[in-house]
Structure 1
Amino acid sequence: MKQVDKIISTISFEEANQIIKFQDIYKIMSGNPNDKFAIVLKKKLILLVGLFLPLIAVIIYVQSNNDPSISTISKIIASFSELIIIALMLFFFLKTSAKFLEYYSYKNFCYMFGKLIYISYFCAGLGMDNGNYLTTIIPIFLCLVVFISLYYKIEKNIVMDEINKLFKREYKTSTLLTTMLKLSGVVVVVIIVGMQLYRLNKSWLKGFIENSDVLNTNATISDIVGIFIGIPLLMIITLIPTFFLFDANLYMKGKIIKQYSEEFRQEYDFKKEEWYGE
């Protein structure tokens, strides 16, 4: 988010010092003091969970060499994509930060893993082509480009909105993007409720679908519904990691503290060993 970083760089230390208090610095350094597990341990657990899906996908495609229904090109592309995701996960896990940014870096790590796990799910579909790899690979790659672009725009939008609130700026933000992010939280609730309703009414729903003339005979209507409802819904679902894991306030304050690290260290009388971890 280079544009956001440029905007943050225009905030003076005097302005920042009026907004950012000791509690903010302590949170960015250490997080919640009541946490039972150390940040390092939590990162290891998240790494194990995050690696599960891409590793399983790679293993499945390696073992499916003799499956004629999946083209070799698809399996190679899918496996390579998952290996890139694994490499990125390991990179973010091993990436270190100064002591004063420990919790801030951990939260960014969690958010990045959330996005990578979601993207990994889609990359796994690259190898499911039923013999025609282009019909699968092209739509999935287009989706991935849209997802990454959407993440960037949403993150930029909510951080700029946070800057407007705290520093009385008037940068333009998108109401549509803000609404989409809020809807992603609603979608989670709807999915959970829907799963429970499905469990309770599974037999009835199956019978309804099998006996429905509209669903069985009019494929065009189903396709239209899929395009105009399915695609926007997919984009909203894509934002679930952002809704739950991206803290715009923490991100912005962390960036500012990093920008004026020495000034804040002296302001609150931290020793260099405490601040930088050297």
Structure 2
Amino acid sequence: MPKVRSVFLSDIHLGTRACQAERLLEFLREHPAEQTYLIGDIIDFWAMSRSICWSQAQNTVVQKLLRRARHGERVVFIPGNHDEALRDYCGIVFGDVEVVDELVHETADGRRFLLIHGDQFDQVTRHHRWVAILGDKAYDLLVRVNTWLSWGRRKLGISGYWSLAGYAKRKVKTALNFIFDFEESAIHHARERGLDGVICGHIHWATIRDLGGLTYVNCGDWVDSCTAIVEHFDGRLELVTWGEPAPQRLLAAPPASMQTAVPARLEETLEV
């Protein structure tokens, strides 16, 4: 039997050196589900236009997702800006995988969430593409440097995961303002459509938060934080961080008493 009702993943960035496919495979093995939603930037065509890094583990990720769909699990792919070329194929089913521009998902407890990648709420990506591409290269550099820092921390016996990219986001006021503006824009869009919340990706900032009575959920990514959202069979949403030294789980409160919830290492964001 599936362990969870739904799995929500975004920003895997297959085709890049930074993609942590091995950890994603571990997560998928531990989380069979009735429904898997791939919420954008699953394949990084931006990066692949510069150079391609496609490992055996990345190939296995694709095979595993296709196998899930073949065996009766619902698999939905919502393209993001890095795989926007696939938006031309929305409404088509490939290998039992549905490709859609967006979707409204109803949880087991009756709440309705908009599933959308989120680049629609990013004014930089929409109107200043060259700036977005430059920022993407800078982020990729931070992730590569972080790989060496993580190796050094392990050699020194320092436990726990530390993210250079996350540190930069927390300390740079402009980045924080961008994140908060993004979240408000996403929630405003959900409210206008009479929904209970939104589940998205794009900004690589995993969280479950209550904003003005609606629930904002971001899946995070699989190049830095290795995070995903799972829905349990009673409708509860949980943020799972699949990293070292052991997976961390943050369970959202019941809908009636939902409080602001962020991963432990992101808490200081709210204090800036």
**TM-score by structure 1 length?**
0.27
User: Which has the higher Rg, Structure 1 or Structure 2?
Assistant: 1
**TM-score by structure 2 length?**
0.28
Which fold has the larger relative contact order, with Cα–Cα distance below 8 Å and residues 6 or more apart in sequence?
A: 1
Normalized per residue, the structure richer in strand is 2
Normalized per residue, the structure richer in helix is 1
